[in-house]
């Protein structure tokens, strides 16, 4: 295992975040905080409690998950897309580095940033809404697993993308709608029966449900199913990344 | 690993891209340790593809490549750790500092940080004063030197330089040649591709000519020059001539500069060059001359002749 290579990639990526703090950390925290202000402190007080939880507090796990998903994908996608775009990928391809080491470096850094971001948003939320975390270790497990899984997904996106438009397309036009329609602002049983069935096809629902359970002990689907869905997606992403490096898809000619 | 193991050993290497373009066709080549080998060829000849395959950037086709005995597919990690690559284009992260980008390269190749080595490297390449500067603030020449520093950061035994002095001014080019010679003196094998024939002539111990994916010639630079090179004798006349004197008509002589100069092409390696007879014939014809000069044909002329020779369908 080329540990020095993993460390070099990881540190370079973390340093890049340090140079773009406004875009990487401050901007997502501020935009999420606006939700807490509007739906928590302002409108939230006029909306009845859901499952014994105030509306402002209810939306916190969903909003953290929304930010976690979009930022994990974006950060990992940009991390591998930029070397392709700039041409510096030649160094990665010519180095004695295995696909596993490359992935650990890039995905590890993106997941770390996403988890830090999630924890900052959580801390910020506590200023606006009353928060409780019933199962803190499970909360951390969901946070870390989701960050890793979607960073892997972002890595695949970054390899696949051949332009900036495609990089933006998935987080903005696929993940964000799925998160909004996956129970960020409501529970499944608040929907008409037909839409309840449709919503169950949304994979993000399982992530938000499991994450919310770790906060308040209430969930739309069983926790085991939520965990299973994350692990399934993780395995699928790992298989795709393994195939990319084996074939050199969009990396090696 | 035997000391006699070649630095690079390529046998019957082919490469056809997905587009159907055949970039390499059965290339076999052995590059000895510690030599400077120049790969010459026109654009699209297959030089960069060959280098890219050896370095791991392009998937290899049929055939086999070994770097100091390590197969680039089976022992890829060992093979790659021996290689440093300076690509043709100046690919850099614009916002990264010189120090960080060179240190990153060392880490990527699996070596522990060694600030003293990186410092020496930057000093050798006259980049030490710029160590804290972002890449985007550097001139093209400086960026080129940073690329060399990155390629040397992991102390490679084989260094590939793909068009290292393209777009670089003469002074900097000579500076780079010094760096390359110093590397060779330290036992590093250097493989360079270049458009500047004078660069190969000046630097290389051996030259390989690649054309349409095939290696058409591999020879020591001096041997290639003497085997295929020709010399030209110019005789500056006192009075201009209207035509070549009858006594010289059978020789490869022509008039130039409005009859002021007689030009004689001859084979420098031949047992009898004909120079003595030519001068005797001039004396005999009563043609007075002011000066005599000779010129060796350049590697460029040899290269063009070789390529044209192949294009004419000669074996």
Rg for chain A, CA atoms, rounded: 19
Closest C-alpha to B224, from B243, B202, B208, B245: B208
A93 contacts B57? CB cut-off 8 A: yes
Does residue B150 carry a pLDDT above 70? Answer: yes
CATH number of B8-226: 3.40.50.300
Does residue A65 carry a pLDDT above 70? Answer: yes
Question: Which of B52, B93, B108 shows the shortest C-beta gap to A95?
Answer: B108
- DSSP readout, chain B? --TTS-SEEEEEEEEE-TTS-EEEEEEEEEE-TT-EEEEE--TTSSHHHHHHHHHTSS---SSEEEETTEETTTTHHHHHHTEEEE-SS----TTSBHHHHHHHHHHHTT----HHHHHHHHHHTT-GGGTTSBGGGS-HHHHHHHHHHHHHTT--SEEEEESTTTT--HHHHHHHHHHHHHHHHTT-EEEEE-S-HHHHHHH-SEEEEEETTEEEEEEEHHHHHHHH--EEEEEEESS--SS--GGGTTSSEEEETTTTEEEEEE-TTSS--SHHHHHHHHHHHT--EEEEEEEEPPHHHHHHHHHHHHHTT--
Does residue B314 carry a pLDDT above 60? Answer: no
Q: In what order do the strands lie in the sheet with B231-237?
A: B253-256, B261-266, B231-237, B289-296
Give the lowest-confidence range in A220-224, B51-55, B251-255.
Answer: B251-255
Q: Touching check for B125 and chain A: CB below 8 Å?
A: no
pLDDT tens figures, B196-247:
667 777 788 998 988 888 888 888 887 776 666 667 888 898 888 888 887 7
Q: Give the confidence band of A12 by pLDDT, cuts at 50, 70, 90.
A: very high
User: Hey, what are B88's tokens?
Assistant: 């043709």
Annotated domain spans of chain B: 8-226, 230-296
Q: Give the confidence band of B315 by pLDDT, cuts at 50, 70, 90.
A: very low
| Neighboring chain B residues of A80 at a CB cutoff of 8 Å | none
User: Hey, what are B237's tokens?
Assistant: 């006349």
Burial of A106 (0-12, 13-18, 19+ CB in 10 A): buried
The predicted pLDDT at position B277 comes to 84
User: Hey, what are B206's tokens?
Assistant: 């051996």
Interface of B with A in 200-259 (CB under 8 A): none
Per-residue b or e along B244-278, where b marks 16 or more CB atoms closer than 10 Å to that residue's CB: eeebbeebebebeeeeebbbbebbeeeeebbeeeb
User: Hey, what are A189's tokens?
Assistant: 């049983």
Interface of B with A in 126-145 (CB under 8 A): none
The predicted pLDDT at position B49 comes to 92
In three state form, how does the secondary structure of A128-170 look? HCCCCCCCHHHHHHHHHHHHHHHHHHHHHHHHHCCCHHHHHHH
pLDDT tens figures, B271-298:
777 888 888 888 888 888 889 988 776 6
B-interface mutation test, from A8, A14, A78, A249, most B Cβ less than 10 A away: A8
Interface of A with B (CB under 8 A): 2-5, 7-9, 11-12, 15-16, 19, 82, 86-88, 90-98, 248, 252-253
Burial of A15 (0-12, 13-18, 19+ CB in 10 A): middle
CB B236 within 8 A of CB B289: yes
CB A71 within 8 A of CB A27: no
The predicted pLDDT at position B226 comes to 67
Does residue A251 carry a pLDDT above 80? Answer: no
In DSSP terms, which residues pair with B214 in a beta bridge? B211
pLDDT tens figures, B157-208:
999 998 877 766 777 777 778 888 888 888 899 998 876 667 777 788 998 9
Mean pLDDT value across residues A78-103: 90
Q: Give the confidence band of B257 by pLDDT, cuts at 50, 70, 90.
A: confident
- A248: closest chain B residue by CA: B59
Mean pLDDT value across residues A143-171: 89
Mean pLDDT value across residues A172-200: 83
Q: CB-based contacts of B101: which residues, under 8 Å, 6+ apart?
A: B92, B93, B135, B146, B150
Question: Which of A4, A82, A94 shows the shortest C-beta gap to B107?
Answer: A4
- B230-296: which CATH architecture? 2-Layer Sandwich (3.30)
Mean pLDDT value across residues A79-87: 88
For chain B, what is the mean pLDDT? 85
Does residue B129 carry a pLDDT above 80? Answer: yes
CB B160 within 8 A of CB B79: no
A93 contacts B56? CB cut-off 8 A: yes
DSSP A221: S
């Amino acid at each position: 295992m080329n540990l020095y290579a993993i460390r070099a990639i990881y540190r370079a990526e973390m340093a890049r975040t340090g140079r773009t703090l406004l875009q990487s950390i401050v901007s997502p925290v501020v935009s999420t905080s606006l939700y807490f202000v509007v739906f928590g402190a302002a409108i939230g007080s006029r909306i009845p409690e859901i499952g014994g939880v105030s509306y402002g507090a209810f939306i916190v796990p969903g909003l953290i998950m929304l930010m976690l998903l979009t930022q994990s994908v974006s950060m990992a996608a940009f991390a591998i897309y930029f070397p392709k775009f700039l041409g510096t990928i030649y160094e990665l391809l010519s180095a004695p580095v295995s696909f596993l080491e490359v992935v650990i470096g890039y995905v590890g850094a993106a997941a770390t940033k996403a988890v830090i971001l999630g924890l900052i948003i959580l801390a910020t939320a506590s200023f606006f809404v009353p928060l409780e975390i019933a199962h803190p270790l499970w909360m951390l497990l969901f946070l870390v697993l989701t960050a890793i899984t979607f960073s892997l997904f972002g890595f695949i996106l970054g390899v696949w993308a051949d332009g900036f438009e495609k990089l933006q397309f998935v987080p903005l036009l696929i993940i964000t709608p799925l998160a909004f329609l996956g129970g960020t602002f409501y529970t499944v049983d608040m929907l008409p029966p037909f839409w309840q069935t449709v919503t169950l096809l949304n994979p993000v629902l399982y992530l938000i449900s499991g994450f919310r359970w770790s906060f308040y002990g209430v969930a739309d689907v069983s926790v085991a199913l939520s965990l299973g869905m994350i692990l399934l997606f993780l395995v699928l992403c790992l298989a795709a990344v393994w195939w990319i490096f084996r074939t050199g898809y969009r990396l090696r000619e | 690993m035997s000391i006699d193991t070649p630095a690079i050993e390529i046998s019957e290497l082919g490469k056809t891209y997905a587009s159907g373009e055949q970039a390499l066709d059965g290339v076999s080549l052995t590059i000895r340790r510690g030599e400077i080998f120049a790969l010459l060829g026109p654009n699209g000849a297959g030089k960069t593809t060959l280098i890219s395959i050896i370095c791991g950037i392009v998937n290899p086709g049929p055939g086999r490549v070994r770097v100091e005995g390590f197969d680039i597919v089976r022992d890829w990690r060992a093979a790659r750790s021996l290689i440093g690559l300076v690509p043709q284009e100046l690919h850099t992260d614009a916002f990264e500092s010189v120090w960080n980008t060179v240190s990153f390269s060392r880490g990527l190749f699996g070596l522990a940080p060694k600030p003293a080595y990186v410092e020496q490297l930057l000093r050798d390449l006259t980049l030490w004063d710029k160590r804290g500067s972002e890449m985007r603030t550097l001139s093209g020449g400086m960026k080129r030197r940073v690329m060399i520093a990155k390629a040397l950061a992991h102390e490679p035994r084989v260094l590939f330089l793909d068009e290292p002095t393209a777009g670089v001014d003469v002074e900097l080019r000579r500076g780079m040649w010094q760096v390359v010679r110093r590397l060779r003196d330290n036992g590093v094998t250097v493989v360079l591709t270049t458009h500047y024939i004078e660069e190969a002539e000046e630097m290389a111990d051996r030259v390989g000519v690649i054309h349409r994916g095939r290696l058409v010639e591999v020879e020591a630079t001096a041997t290639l020059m003497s085997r295929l090179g020709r010399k030209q004798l110019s005789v500056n006349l006192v009075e201009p001539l209207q035509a070549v004197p009858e006594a010289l008509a059978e020789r490869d002589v022509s008039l130039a500069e409005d009859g002021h100069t007689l030009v004689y092409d001859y084979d420098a390696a031949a047992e009898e060059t004909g120079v003595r007879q030519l001068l005797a014939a001039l004396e005999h014809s009563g043609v007075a001359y002011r000066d005599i000069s000779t010129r060796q044909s350049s590697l460029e002329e040899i290269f063009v002749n070789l390529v044209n020779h192949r294009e004419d369908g000669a074996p």
